[in-house]
Amino acid sequence: MARVTVRQAIALLADEGLLSPQRGRGTFVTGIPGSRRRLRVETTLDDLVAMYSGDRPDHATLAEGVADPTLSETDGIKAPKYYYLRRVHSRTGERYCVISIYIDHRVFRRAQARFRRELALPVLTSLPGLEIASARQTLTISTADVDTSRLIGVPVNAPVGEVRRVLCGRDGTVIYLAEVTYRGDYIHLEMDLKP
């Protein structure tokens, strides 16, 4: 095999985080292929909640308090007040997303401790008597800015997936808004293209 081919292979594996070439010391294995659990970007609320149910990623809360989300006219009716949580989620020590969550304060008060301790979406959908009349999300492929790069451990301008989720109650009030930035190498979108 040609040296150029070997160098190219090592460079590709280093870019994927599997090898660490160190001048004068050698090349070291730093990762296991396929060991990263990918998150599916689900296309129904039930599937999304099922994906997170029973899942216990670590989350570090960066900020919390009362704050107003930016809503568009098509999102729904603005609640009188929202509770805001900004978190970084990780699994087995690997940070995979940063998320900003806005929850209708009336809903947040019903399970404050759980919202602070657990993943918000499964908590929200488990609240008795809370009806979610509409749920939608959008996925945009983008690049990591300086802040996101620092928080989830990717290079500046690395590919990321930006997901925006909006859930509304029966009266059209936005009860939950999440703006999530996932590492590009951690998400997987699969769609069933039914004829």
Task: For residue 50, name the pLDDT band (cuts at 50, 70, 90).
Answer: confident
Shared domain for 52 and 146, answered yes or no, is: yes
CA distance 148 to 95: 11
More confident residue, 108 or 37: 108
* Angle 163-167-170 from CA coordinates, rounded to 5°: 165
In tens, the pLDDT along 81-129 reads 999 999 998 877 788 899 999 999 999 999 999 999 888 999 999 999 9
Q: If you average pLDDT over residues 142-162, what whole number do you get?
A: 94
Shared domain for 118 and 182, answered yes or no, is: yes
**Residue 15 is part of which domain span?**
1-33
Judge whether 46 lies within some domain.
yes
CB 143 within 8 A of CB 157: yes
Residue 41's pLDDT is 61
CB neighbours of 144 closer than 8 A, spacing ≥ 6?
152, 154, 155, 156, 157, 158, 159, 160, 181
Shared domain for 19 and 59, answered yes or no, is: no
131: domain CATH number?
A: 3.40.1410.10
Read off the tokens for 74.
């098509």
Mean pLDDT of the chain: 85
Judge whether 193 lies within some domain.
no
- The neighbouring-strand residues paired with 86 are 63, 100
- Sign of the CA dihedral 155, 161, 37, 176? positive
CA distance 73 to 79: 13
Shared domain for 65 and 20, answered yes or no, is: no
Shared domain for 47 and 24, answered yes or no, is: no
Q: If you average pLDDT over residues 165-177, what whole number do you get?
A: 96
Judge whether 81 lies within some domain.
yes
Judge whether 195 lies within some domain.
no
Shared domain for 174 and 154, answered yes or no, is: yes
Shared domain for 11 and 76, answered yes or no, is: no
Percent of the chain with pLDDT over 70: 88
Residue 124's pLDDT is 93
Q: If you average pLDDT over residues 64-84, what whole number do you get?
A: 96
Of 137, 139, 138, 115, residue with least CA distance to 125:
115
Q: Which of 1-10, 75-84, 128-137 has the lowest mean pLDDT?
A: 1-10
Residue 65's alpha-carbon distances to 82, 103, 135, 178, in angstroms, are: 8, 11, 24, 15
User: Would the pLDDT of 35 be above 60?
Assistant: no
Shared domain for 4 and 86, answered yes or no, is: no
Residue 33's pLDDT is 56
Shared domain for 46 and 25, answered yes or no, is: no
Q: If you average pLDDT over residues 136-159, what whole number do you get?
A: 93
- For 149, counting Cβ atoms within 10 Å of its Cβ (0-12 exposed, 13-18 middle, 19+ buried), the class is middle
Shared domain for 2 and 92, answered yes or no, is: no
Residue 146's pLDDT is 95
Shared domain for 52 and 29, answered yes or no, is: no
Rounded (to 5) percent helix, strand, coil in the chain: 25, 40, 35
Shared domain for 87 and 47, answered yes or no, is: yes
* DSSP annotation string for 32-48: -TT-SPPEE--SSHHHH
Per the structure, the count of domains in the chain is 2
Task: For residue 70, name the pLDDT band (cuts at 50, 70, 90).
Answer: very high
